[in-house]
Amino acid sequence: MKNENEIEDKNKEIEEKWKKEVENKEKENQQMKIEIEEKWKKEVEDLKSKFELMELQKIFSDSEIIKDIEYVKKLQEWINDNDFFSKMKKGFSAKRDGFSGQNWHKAVDGKGKTLVIIKTKQNFIFGGFTQVGFNGNTGNINDSSAFIFSLRNDKGDRIPAKFTYNGKNRAINSNLNYGPWFGDGCDFGINSDLKTGWSYFGKSYNLPNGITYGTNEANSYLAGSYSSWVVDELESYFI
């Protein structure tokens, strides 16, 4: 009997040992399964992000200005209209279609939603977006969704940045004697030669924190100065 009891106790001990071993393996396998699933999900997300970036890059594939994918992401975020963003095309390029306000109006008038991007010879990049769009000699136009932006200037710690319409005066101005004109005054405008312009930032669009309307800091924020800058390229996108 004694031997039988010892054998039984030993069997129980062995059984417990292997039960624990099995439990530990099951835990390890479960953890391994979780780790594999996490790696799988990450790989799928990385692949998805890669294809999304490729699609985004296609939108500005022929742009002379937008070369940085971070600029593309910011513009997509700010416009917040995937249908427009995925379908818009470069409908006007000053280098391609001529530095002419008349040519610009022929291309953009009546198109509705319009994205304008400007690069100066001083390498400042800025522009604006309007839901309403430009149309001949309409003059001052309200557009509560309009905004202007700075992608590159000499205030590197503050950009890229979006500046919303403040509801005062007018959001855009459509005038056949000028190129794109954002703000009533204006926050920035391009002359009919599409080579020169001016900026009186803060009249119709909210300024960055700490900058006062009417100061040199405000007027030079977008293009480096009030008016002594030259356009290198001007692009407009619409459907």
Tell me phi and psi for residue 167, to 5 degrees.
85, -5
Query: Are residues 116 and 229 both part of a single domain?
Result: yes
Asked whether residue 35 falls in the same domain as residue 97, the answer is no
Residue 96 sits in the same domain as residue 168: yes
SS (H, E, C) the chain: CHHHHHHHHHHHHHHHHHHHHHHHHHHHHHHHHHHHHHHHHHHHHHHHHHHHHHHHHHHCCCCCCCCCHHHHHHHHHHHCCHHHHHHCEEEEEHHHHCCCHHHHHHHHCCCCCEEEEEEECCCCEEEEEECCCCCCCCEEECCCCCEEEEEECCCHHHCCEEEEECCCCCCEEECCCEEEEECCCCCEEEECCCCEEECCCCCCECCCCCCCCCCHHHHCCCCCCCCCCEEEEEEEEEC
Question: What's the confidence (pLDDT) of residue 48?
Answer: 63
Lowest mean pLDDT among 22-36, 85-99, 100-114, 225-239: 22-36
* pTM for this predicted structure: 0.79
Cβ neighbours, 10 Å, residue 4 = 8
Q: Average pLDDT, whole number, for the chain?
A: 89
Does the structure show a pLDDT above 90 at 18?
no
Domain co-membership, 20 together with 125: no
Query: What's residue 207's pLDDT?
Result: 96
CA 58 – CA 37 distance, rounded (Å): 32
Write down the pLDDT at residue 4: 66
Question: Are residues 141 and 198 both part of a single domain?
Answer: yes
pLDDT at 2 > cutoff 60: no
54 and 157 fall within a common domain: no
pLDDT over threshold 60, residue 1:
no
Domain count, the chain: 2
Residues 46 and 118 in one domain: no
- 16 residue type, one letter: E
Which domain range does residue 110 map to? Answer: 64-238
Residues 68 and 39 placed together within one structural domain of the fold: no
Based on the domain organization, do 141 and 106 belong to the same domain?
yes
Q: Angle at the Cα of 106 (from 103 to 107), degrees rounded to 5?
A: 90
> Which stretch of 3-12, 190-199, 215-224 has the lowest confidence by average pLDDT?
3-12
Report the C-alpha dihedral over residues 62, 193, 103, 200, rounded to 10 degrees. 80
- Do 148 and 164 lie in one domain? The reply is yes
Residues 79 and 137 in one domain: yes
Total Cβ atoms within 10 A of residue 5 = 9
9, 39, 59 - which closes a domain: 59
Sign of the C-alpha dihedral computed for residues 170, 172, 176 and 177 taken in this order: positive
Q: What is the mean pLDDT of residues 151-170?
A: 86
**Residue that finishes a domain, picked among 44, 59, 74:** 59
Residues 200-224, mean pLDDT to the nearest whole number: 95
Domain identity same for 55 and 108: no
Please tell me the predicted confidence (pLDDT) of residue 52. Answer: 67
Using an 8 Å Cβ cutoff, are 182 and 140 in contact? Answer: no
* Alpha-carbon span 206 to 39, nearest angstrom: 44
The pLDDT value given to residue 66: 95
Domain boundary residue, one of 59, 78, 102: 59
